[in-house]
Amino acid sequence: MTWWNRILDKSILFSFDRSGYQRHERAFLSGSLDVSMEGRSCLVSGANSGLGFELARGLAARGAAVHMLCRNPQRGAQAKQAIQAEHSAAQLQLHIVDLSSLASIRSFVAGFEINRVDVLLHNAGLLPLRRELTADGLELTVATHLVGPFLLTRLLAEKLAGGRVVFVSSGGMYAKRLDVEAMLRNEGSYDGVAAYAMTKRAQVVLAELLAEQLKQRNITVNSMHPGWAATPGVERSLPRFWTVMGKRLRTPAQGADTALWLAVAAEVEGLSGRFWFDREVVSPYLFPGTREDELERRRLWALCERLAGGFTSAASEPSDSEP
């Protein structure tokens, strides 16, 4: 990387935006995405729009059997129809699943009859404007971004043996230090952007913990962030940012590129527990004071196990402390 590229990347603006992707893609290994996924089963949460739609579309184009996990039946059906219209031979199955509901996740897995899952893409996400609690008593972003994906991964662990798990995080997490107690606080003022960023930070830490937990099953777990992409969620939740950035935002396909690459590329086979941006391993810590300590990591794991249940191996007990 040249000194000029290093300067641009440190600016964040010229790294996370469309120009950053265009610079970074020059270093991409040619043909990395020219992969046949025929005979492989892939699950994509939040597949009805934005990055999730692009991921489902990209996997379907490569011959995978794609299971689209969507909360909204109508939007899910429309997304499935759009992909099917583009790829007539696409193997698509729509599942109505609410990733913020533990009961919905358990119901889905109980009825999921596929014997093997090759790829699990945790993409479902939201940025609420006000505090909302789920039926399980969890703040909505904690449930959707953290506890739900943990439970889904745990319940599918046996079927995922030898497969890949990818968390779609967010560059917004760079501003936050993991604070489990703060995530559980359901009183006082509420900042949706801060809650979103905190749970996205937690996803990155959780991916590292799951990578260690699941290595005995030969399951790789990685996380990534897409930069600043033009998605319906960004337009809806961050209208001012959307207006200011305009055409500087990445396309959904550019934002989804690294997650798709992590799902299919041969060169990442066996790599696990890493955080990626534009097909490169990057540090999850850019700012002073944002690195969590080991106790906080243990608290995060204990929280997920307490709310969603533990794994079966002895390695699933990293701490005696409760959050």
Q: Count Cβ atoms below 10 Å from residue 50 Cβ, excluding itself.
A: 23
Model pLDDT for residues 48-99, shown as the tens digit of each residue: 999 999 999 999 999 999 999 999 999 999 999 999 999 999 999 999 999 9
| CA triple 205-173-282, angle to 5 deg | 70
Residue 313 confidence (pLDDT) = 40
Per CATH, the number for 36-311 is 3.40.50.720
The closest alpha carbon to 211, from 152, 255, 163, belongs to: 163
Q: Which stretches of 36-179 are DSSP H helices?
A: 50-61, 73-86, 102-111, 140-142, 148-156
Position 314 pLDDT exceeds 60: no
Distant-in-sequence, close-in-space partners of 44: CB < 8 Å, separation ≥ 6: 52, 55, 56, 59, 66, 67, 68, 69, 121, 123
Position 318 pLDDT exceeds 80: no
- Percent of the chain exceeding pLDDT 90 equals 87
Tell me the domain boundaries of the chain: 36-311
Confidence band, pLDDT 50/70/90 cuts, at residue 8: confident
Position 293 pLDDT exceeds 50: yes
Q: Rounded to whole angstroms, how far apart are CA atoms 235 and 255?
A: 15
Confidence band, pLDDT 50/70/90 cuts, at residue 323: very low
Catalytic residue status for 196: yes
- Region of residue 322 (left: phi > 0; alpha: psi -120 to 50; beta: else): beta
Position 28 pLDDT exceeds 70: yes
Residue 1 confidence (pLDDT) = 61
Please provide residue 295's backbone torsions phi and psi, each rounded to the nearest 5 degrees.
-60, -40
Model pLDDT for residues 248-285, shown as the tens digit of each residue: 999 999 999 999 999 999 999 999 999 999 999 999 99
Contact 126, 98 (CB under 8 A): no
Confidence band, pLDDT 50/70/90 cuts, at residue 312: low
Among candidate residues 21, 174, 190, 196, the one labeled active-site is 196
Parallel/antiparallel/unpaired status of strands 280-281 and 275-277: antiparallel
Distant-in-sequence, close-in-space partners of 194: CB < 8 Å, separation ≥ 6: 176
Position 319 pLDDT exceeds 60: no
Model pLDDT for residues 192-205, shown as the tens digit of each residue: 999 999 999 999 99
Residue 4 confidence (pLDDT) = 77
